[in-house]
Amino acid sequence: MGIKESDPASNGQERSTDTQASASASAVIGVTAGEERYLIPMTEVSEVIVMPKLADVPLTQPWFLGLANVRGNLYGITDLGVYLGHKPVPFNLKSRVLLISPGDKLCGGFAVHSMLGIRKLSEFTPGKSPRKKLPAGIQAHYQDAEGRIWKVLSLYTLIRDDKFLQIAR
């Protein structure tokens, strides 16, 4: 993304630079799923909603919660924590669903237990990744100033993973 020139009458207020683009690209949403903390790129989340009413879908994986109708669009809702291998934890009033629609007619929603705010990736220091292969979607480990571990998670990668696409038991 280069520089967008604006109309001279607008006093240059519409101008964007590569620096601004990279700063917004490093913006992440902090969430908890199960007992873990995750950082999800803001560019991958189209909307954050409260937990919607779900239509049950029988004979699906334990991590698939059901279908939600959000303004006329159907979203399959996944318990992100259970999908990533954590024990089921009840959802509460702090729980939210991250909606994504990366194109290719794929739409999905990921239920998280709480939102921890919008952060800049530069606030964290890169951590050591385990020697074993990282699960699909997990891109890196980071550490915050208090020493807590955060995992960078790409929902776009996750939604295209073969395991994720097999919701039937």
Q: Is residue 142 part of a domain?
A: yes
Give pLDDT, residue 102: 75
Q: Is residue 37 part of a domain?
A: yes
Give pLDDT, residue 105: 72
User: Sign of the CA dihedral 80, 86, 88, 90?
Assistant: negative
Could you tell me if 101 and 107 are in contact, meaning their C-beta atoms sit under 8 angstroms apart?
yes
How many structural domains is the chain composed of? 1
Which CATH number covers residue 136? 2.40.50.180
Q: Is residue 11 part of a domain?
A: no
Give pLDDT, residue 50: 97
Residue ranges in the chain modelled with pLDDT below 70? 1-25, 104, 130-131
CA distance 79 to 110: 6
